[in-house]
Amino acid sequence: MSIQINPIFDDGSPIEFDLHGGTPVLNESLALAELADQIGVQALDDFDEYAHVPVPPDFDGSPDDLYAGQTAGWFDPQDGLRSIDALLGAVEKNPDCLESEMLEDVMWSLQQLRAALELALARGTRFHFSVF
């Protein structure tokens, strides 16, 4: 099993989507963050469960040490949808804006994450992304 980005819902409800496609999004997270910055939306990393935890400049320990005792952050699915829709739209208009050998996989993964956030919105629950 590979490491991937996964949406988690605040209400603890299960996610019934094939999210194994989250690996291409994670692999392209730097390029997607640059694209998000260029088009003026939040990067997907901003929705990470511990995005609010400051990392000291000299920190060289385990992420588990950094996050120990921290409370996960939760986000409105509309904010995540805004970012995903903008990323999808930018890549659909200009596929060359994301130089990825896995472009189709990245787009599919973004669409799966979008579907999960639509579900969170319909359920009235918040979300965050977690990497595992």
Domain membership of residue 88 (yes or no) is yes
pLDDT at 14: 83
User: What tokens were used for 83?
Assistant: 């970012």
| pLDDT over 60 at 16, yes or no | yes
Against a cut of 0.85, is the pTM above it? yes
Per-residue b or e along 39-69, where b marks 16 or more CB atoms closer than 10 Å to that residue's CB: eebbbbbbbbbbbeeeeeeeeeeeeeeeeee
Domain membership of residue 96 (yes or no) is yes
The boundaries of the domain holding residue 49 are 37-53+63-132
Domain membership of residue 119 (yes or no) is yes
| pLDDT over 70 at 99, yes or no | yes
pLDDT at 18: 67
| pLDDT over 60 at 64, yes or no | yes
Domain membership of residue 15 (yes or no) is no
Q: How many domains does the chain have?
A: 1
Q: Using one digit for the tens of pLDDT, what is the confidence trace for 23-54? A: 888 888 999 999 999 999 999 999 998 887 78
Domain membership of residue 22 (yes or no) is no
